[in-house]
Amino acid sequence: MRRRGAKGFRYSRWDGTQSIPDFDADALLGEITDDLLYHGDLHAALRRLMQQGMEGDQGERLQGLRELLQKLRDRRREELDRHDLGGVYADIAERLDEVVAMERKGIERRERDAAQEGDRRRQEIVDQLATERREQLDQLPPDLAGRVQELQRYDFMDDAARERFEALMDELRQELLNSTFNQMQGAMANMSPEQMARMKDMLAELNEMLRQREEGGEPDFDGFMERYGDFFPDNPRTLDELLEAMARSMAQMQSLLNSMTPEQRRQLQELAESLLDDLDLRWQVDALARNLQSAFPDLPWERRQNFTGEDPLGFAQAASLLDTLDDIDGLERLLQSASEPGALAEVDIERAADLLGDDAARSLERLAELAKMLEEAGLIEQKEGRLQLTPKGMKRIGQNALGDLFERLARDRFGRHETVQSGVGTESDFDTKPYEWGDPFRLDVQETVRNALRRSGPGTPVRLTPDDFEVERTELHTRAATVLMVDLSLSMPMRDNFLAAKKVTMALHSLISTRFPRDYLGIVGFSEVARELKPEDVPEVSWDFVYGTNMQHGFLLARRMLARESGTKQIIMITDGEPTAHIEPGGDVFFAYPPVARTIEETLKEVVRCTREGIRINTFMLDPSYHLREFVERMTRMNRGRAFFTTPETLGDYLLVDFIDQKREQRRAG
């Protein structure tokens, strides 16, 4: 790994602690370039990147929302297919059986102890009690709630069995209350009778505050928290926060009931009635549930989870699993509703890592920062509430488009076109020559030192002579003015030609602005009518949902734009259809398909005007239909321009090669 030091760089062996560069802003912008150019909507391009994710150059994966949502659904299905809510009863029934077995052994022990004491009267009493207790145990109801109710009335003969049963009842009562009031778990542990009485008072006040709020009153929340704040270790700051937390807990408990079979649900409800044998407490809990359901109707009170597995869940396990399923549902809703990257900042990354794994959580973090990364890199900015490209972003989009097109060309494609003259100029030819008197002294240090080494051999110091000097060649300076006419009619996207045309537009703008900065490039979009486009508007330009290919109006605008410029003038037109519209003398638009002779003639009149003003028209046809070919052939004969029959895949190759070839021909002519 390379580290920046005071005197250059220092390298160290990889030890696993160094950070690997993550997706950067340039990679993100490159990923959305095609989408942005095709749809012309930066927001939509970012949304689609959020949905789809992306692959990095090194094979790393930024998971998109679709992939993450599928992982959430798989996790939910995995949990539901694994577990069975019947374990809630199996666990309690098993522990009750253990209590009954302990009681039976205790009865036998009491009988043996009485027999060993030799007290006949005491032995008769113990035997009689033992017989009665065994009969009671034998007659315990088969259902869980009935067994609990009978054992609550049962007079245990074994003290250890009684203590174990009471501990089990306290534990179940605790789990039931915790499931109902999840945020009060810590405060309800080992509740004394006095604490239970306070709890009833607290629930009564909560119900009263709900009634007051429904009637438009202002409940005394601060006073309530002073009296009962110890019940709420999460320390809610407002009444709404407290009530919503309790409502979510109760909705989860209702979800547990909804997810059970009718028989399981009946047993749990009867068990709850047996455990909460305090009628006043049960009434307050039921009243609070009704009030909260009325106050928060949007919570999932009717949600049902379809458990189909065989792994039995205990009561506490079921509550914990429902917490997990609720978190899965909540994260799924958040991801589904996220319309822009900033909305993902609400995700609890630690919980997302628990549910989906560390890689997915890191992807969520990166997705939330998409727009921020692009803004911090100066590629996009917020203006009047919407995101748009900055000039730097525009330049980078053009470079990306130009790079994509040049990648498809052979590297020697341009090298075959040599310039016959060289001399003073501002544009480097990326070649060198021995220095001659009168040449600009643009010394190429590398080649100069290499000449000296060839002459004197290796070693230091290296001594230079004037014969070693090597200078950069420069090309003769020429200027050209170009207007690019881009067809924006509806047929372009319908025939999959639109993206190629926009990428070529951006690439040509990037090529001219960086390599030929003295040249002029204007852009005209045409469909039913034509309009001038600024380079900064091109990324967000979309096709027009109208019929008509108005070349006549496009040539008119292009001719007026070129009239203000000097140098060689040309129009480059990209189209996939013949002219079907023109502007009438009164300013109205005339449209007809198939095209009529009048539209053809009006368009050719404008071609004649361009020809008289020395403007060459080169046409790149994306659909070599008979009518378009016939029109273009007439136009080229009149204008002495050229026509190229191409496809979306080769459009950039043809246009860029031709443009650079023309530049070199102009220099030769110079």
Burial of 445 (0-12, 13-18, 19+ CB in 10 A): exposed
Cβ neighbours for 150, distance < 8 A, ≥ 6 positions apart: 136, 140, 141
**Tokens 């522990």 belong to which residue?**
95
Q: Is residue 204 part of a domain?
A: no
Q: Which helix (H) or strand (E) holds 58?
A: none
Residue 462 above 70 pLDDT? yes
600 with 459, same domain: the answer is no
Q: Between vectors from CA 646 to CA 642 and to CA 648, what angle results, nearest 5°?
A: 135
Positive or negative torsion for Cα 289, 292, 294, 296: negative
Residue 490 above 70 pLDDT? yes
519 with 439, same domain: the answer is no
Helical ranges in 536-650 per DSSP H: 551-562, 597-612, 626-639
Residue pLDDT, tens place only, 407-427: 544 333 433 333 333 333 344
523 with 437, same domain: the answer is no
pLDDT band at 13 (very low <50, low <70, confident <90, very high): very low
**Percent of the chain residues topping a pLDDT of 70:** 78
Higher pLDDT, 666 or 549: 549
User: What was the pLDDT predicted at 552?
Assistant: 94
Q: Is residue 405 part of a domain?
A: no
Positive or negative torsion for Cα 370, 376, 381, 384: positive
Per-residue tokens: 48: 């689609």
User: What was the pLDDT predicted at 186?
Assistant: 44
Q: Which amino acid is at 32?
A: I
Residue 201 above 80 pLDDT? yes
636 with 606, same domain: the answer is yes
Residue 406 above 60 pLDDT? no
Residue 649 above 70 pLDDT? no
601 with 528, same domain: the answer is yes
448 with 505, same domain: the answer is no
User: What was the pLDDT predicted at 14?
Assistant: 40
For 87-125, give one letter per residue: b (16+ CB within 10 A) or e: bbbebbbebbeebbebbbebbeebbeebeeeeeeeebee
Q: Is residue 506 part of a domain?
A: yes
516 with 452, same domain: the answer is no
Q: In the predicted model, what is the mean pLDDT of residues 339-345?
A: 80
Helix axes 193-214, 221-228, angle to 10 degrees: 170
Q: Is residue 612 part of a domain?
A: yes
Q: Which amino acid is at 602?
A: E
Range in 2-11, 17-26, 53-62, 502-511 with the lowest mean pLDDT = 2-11
Q: Is residue 458 part of a domain?
A: yes
**Percent of the chain residues topping a pLDDT of 90:** 11
Q: Is residue 562 part of a domain?
A: yes
Q: DSSP letter at 56?
A: -
**Tokens 């995995």 belong to which residue?**
78
Contact 100, 136 (CB under 8 A): no
Contact 485, 558 (CB under 8 A): yes
Burial of 265 (0-12, 13-18, 19+ CB in 10 A): middle
Residue 582 above 90 pLDDT? yes
User: What was the pLDDT predicted at 181?
Assistant: 59
Whole-model pTM over 0.85: no
Helix axes 315-337, 65-82, angle to 10 degrees: 160
Last residue of a domain, one of 443, 458, 475: 475
546 with 595, same domain: the answer is yes
Cβ neighbours for 462, distance < 8 A, ≥ 6 positions apart: 449, 452, 453, 456
Q: In the predicted model, what is the mean pLDDT of residues 280-297?
A: 80
Q: What is the Cα–Cα distance from 641 to 635, expressed in whole angstroms?
A: 8
Contact 471, 444 (CB under 8 A): yes
Q: Which amino acid is at 315?
A: F
463 with 564, same domain: the answer is no
Rg, C-alpha atoms of the chain: 41
Higher pLDDT, 237 or 270: 237
Could you report how far apart the first and last alpha carbons of the chain are, in Å? 52
Which residues form the domain of 551? 480-669
Three-class DSSP category at 486: strand
Burial of 137 (0-12, 13-18, 19+ CB in 10 A): middle
The CATH number assigned to the domain holding 545 equals 3.40.50.410
User: What was the pLDDT predicted at 475?
Assistant: 53
Last residue of a domain, one of 475, 501, 536: 475
Residue 189 above 80 pLDDT? no
pLDDT band at 431 (very low <50, low <70, confident <90, very high): low
Q: Is residue 563 part of a domain?
A: yes
Per-residue tokens: 615: 């403007």
Q: Is residue 251 part of a domain?
A: no
User: What was the pLDDT predicted at 403?
Assistant: 63
User: What was the pLDDT predicted at 276?
Assistant: 62
Residue pLDDT, tens place only, 250-267: 777 777 777 777 766 666
Q: Which amino acid is at 12?
A: S
User: What was the pLDDT predicted at 297?
Assistant: 85
Residue 607 above 90 pLDDT? yes
Q: Which residues are paired to 487 by β-bridges?
A: 526
659 with 526, same domain: the answer is yes
Q: What is the Cα–Cα distance from 368 to 372, expressed in whole angstroms?
A: 8
Per-residue tokens: 425: 């100029």
Last residue of a domain, one of 475, 506, 536: 475
Range in 97-106, 437-446, 547-556, 580-589 with the lowest mean pLDDT = 437-446
Range in 173-187, 378-392, 632-646 with the lowest mean pLDDT = 173-187
Residue 608 above 90 pLDDT? yes
Contact 250, 292 (CB under 8 A): yes
Residue 221 above 80 pLDDT? yes
573 with 522, same domain: the answer is yes
Q: DSSP letter at 63?
A: E
The domain tally of the chain equals: 2
Residue 447 above 60 pLDDT? yes
653 with 594, same domain: the answer is yes
User: What was the pLDDT predicted at 388?
Assistant: 77
User: What was the pLDDT predicted at 555?
Assistant: 95
Output the DSSP codes for 29-52: HHHHHHHHHHH--HHHHHHHHHHH
Helix axes 159-180, 262-275, angle to 10 degrees: 110
User: What was the pLDDT predicted at 239?
Assistant: 87
Contact 401, 33 (CB under 8 A): yes
User: What was the pLDDT predicted at 192?
Assistant: 66
- Work out the mean pLDDT of the chain and round it to a whole number: 77
Contact 100, 402 (CB under 8 A): no
Maximum average pLDDT range among 54-63, 379-388, 414-423, 593-602:
593-602
Residue pLDDT, tens place only, 71-81: 999 998 898 88
Q: Which of 560, 583, 553, 559 is nearest to 571 (CA)?
A: 559
